[in-house]
Structure 1
Amino acid sequence: MLKLENITVSYDGKALAVDNINLEIDQGEFVGIIGSSGSGKSSILKTINLLVRPIKGKVYVDDVDIIGLKNSQLRTIRRSIGFVFQDYNLIDRSSVLDNVLVGRLGYKSSFKSIFGIFNDEDYESASKALRQVGLGEKMFERADQLSGGQKQRVSIAKTLCQNPKIILADEPVASLDISTSKIIMEYFKTINEKNNITILINLHDVNLAKRYCDRIIALKKGKILYDGKAGDLSDELLNKIYQ
């Protein structure tokens, strides 16, 4: 289970990007986070794995408050929390396979990480992840030879290679056309259902959120305005969220 308790985030010590948010996410939930630019969507996701540290509050992963952990302990926790970025976060000149293997680095010693030393189990994990996103035949191509949708699928495969319990996705379809966006969302949905992986996904497209997510959290000015079933989100409330 994931739990945020009184989380407050500020980047300048004055304005609040996230304002005293409390949130609980059960294992296996597929949660869409919506809201206009500056509402706090990205800050929430980055706080969950402490890419951003809150000025107040606690973050619990499986009942462990991760804010007070030592670096070595936090590294172990982060292995179970994958992060998919809008800009793919790939090494363009490297092969698809090598990019996906990056997901295994959290399990490696510093020496093996620096020199990229992987074993048969790592390669099998990477191959399996690529097959899960329909890119098994692309593993030896360079990442910069792929389309935007394929690059995002590689990014998802890299995250799967971590063997995560939670996947955080920050606007992963924002730069893609609607047809490709739906394909990416289908993969997220399948991964959620078949692997029982908790997914929190920031989306600018409300229709995608309502179609694919079971639960929607709507933010405005760092506060939660709605937290409930996707089907119960009314047009009236949407107007309030985005006005």
Structure 2
Amino acid sequence: MIKLENVSVLYNKKILAVDNISLNIGKGEFVGIIGLSGSGKSSLLKTINFLVKPSNGNIYIDDTDIAPLRDRELRRIRREIGFIFQDYNLVERSSVLENVLVGRLGYKSSLKSFFGLFDDEDYKVAIDALKQVGLEEKIFVRADQLSGGQKQRVAIAKTLCQRPKIVLADEPVSSLDLSSAQTVMDYFKVINEKRKITIMINLHDVSLAKKYCSRIVALKSGKIFFDREAGDLDDQQLQKLYQ
């Protein structure tokens, strides 16, 4: 489903954030990305979604090379790739429902997107997404009145509104307490198992990665340090990673 061939990301022509990475992610996998801050985790995810363009290499989504795609074609591919940010990326003064409906904009014409025009199907999809993350009772509550864990669940619902094949999550639980983090991770696990959505998630907490992910890719200085099944990790590997 996701294939990277010799991908590098260079910032300001001198900072190498991702260094010649090749990686294959299959349909329905739940992959955790771990490593020190600055190891290239965020840059890797943003490159897969083409929020950051690679300096070198090729990226394939469902065997389609996304590098040469023009705006409309790239928009279609991005519609199938949900991206969840650490800071929730919500409009704080808007309602939960209004935030979730943003996930439907990729299906609208430019004019309808500009005016935020939604039909009955859009509302149905949004409400269903909120039910999947247990927030249907918060539908008319403003986002700034929610807890951090609830905000991240709204962000997940917004992504589900896209009906994506792939979800990329960049440190989505790093600012949450352990209980809230586990609740959010539980929902990621459910959508992975029940909806067969491929998930790649950056995590700073290795214990969460081992508990929820089936496969763990570790980055160090922009390179893949190891790529293992979660059950195969040992303390010696992790100690070398975080030295």
Q: Which residue of 1 aligns with 2:57?
A: 57
Q: Which residue of 1 aligns with 2:143?
A: 143
C-alpha distance in 2 between matches for 1:51 and 1:144: 26
Q: Which residue of 2 aligns with 1:166?
A: 166
By how many angstroms is 1:15 displaced? 2.7
C-alpha distance in 2 between matches for 1:234 and 1:208: 15
State the percentage of identical aligned residues: 70
User: Where do 4+ consecutive residues of structure 1 move more than 4 Å?
Assistant: none
By how many angstroms is 1:12 displaced? 1.9
Q: Which residue of 2 aligns with 1:208?
A: 208
Asked if 1:121 corresponds to 2:121, the answer is yes
C-alpha distance in 1 between matches for 2:28 and 2:190: 12
C-alpha distance in 2 between matches for 1:64 and 1:167: 17
By how many angstroms is 1:16 displaced? 1.1
Instruction: Write out aligned runs for 1:186-201 (5 A).
Output: 186-201=186-201
Number of matched residues?
Answer: 243
Question: Helix, strand or coil: the match of 2:11?
Answer: coil
Q: Which residue of 2 aligns with 1:228?
A: 228
Question: Helix, strand or coil: the match of 1:17?
Answer: strand
C-alpha distance in 2 between matches for 1:228 and 1:74: 31
Deviation sequence 1:21-63 (CA, Å, 0-9, x none):
0000001000000000010000000000100001000110000
Q: Look up the equivalent residue of 2:16 and give its one-letter code.
A: L
- Superposed CA RMSD in Å reads 0.5
Q: Which residue of 1 aligns with 2:218?
A: 218
Q: Look up the equivalent residue of 1:72 and give its one-letter code.
A: R
Q: Which residue of 2 aligns with 1:74?
A: 74
Deviation sequence 1:130-166 (CA, Å, 0-9, x none):
0000000101111111000000000000000000000
User: TM-score under structure 2 normalisation?
Assistant: 0.99
Q: Unaligned 5+ residue runs, structure 2?
A: none
By how many angstroms is 1:13 displaced? 1.2
Q: Which residue of 1 aligns with 2:96?
A: 96
Q: Which residue of 2 aligns with 1:12?
A: 12
Q: Look up the equivalent residue of 2:196 and give its one-letter code.
A: N
Deviation sequence 1:199-243 (CA, Å, 0-9, x none):
000000000000000000000000001101001111111011100
Q: Look up the equivalent residue of 2:160 and give its one-letter code.
A: L
Q: Look up the equivalent residue of 1:21 and give its one-letter code.
A: I
C-alpha distance in 1 between matches for 2:79 and 2:50: 13
C-alpha distance in 2 between matches for 1:38 and 1:240: 16
Q: Unaligned 5+ residue runs, structure 1?
A: none
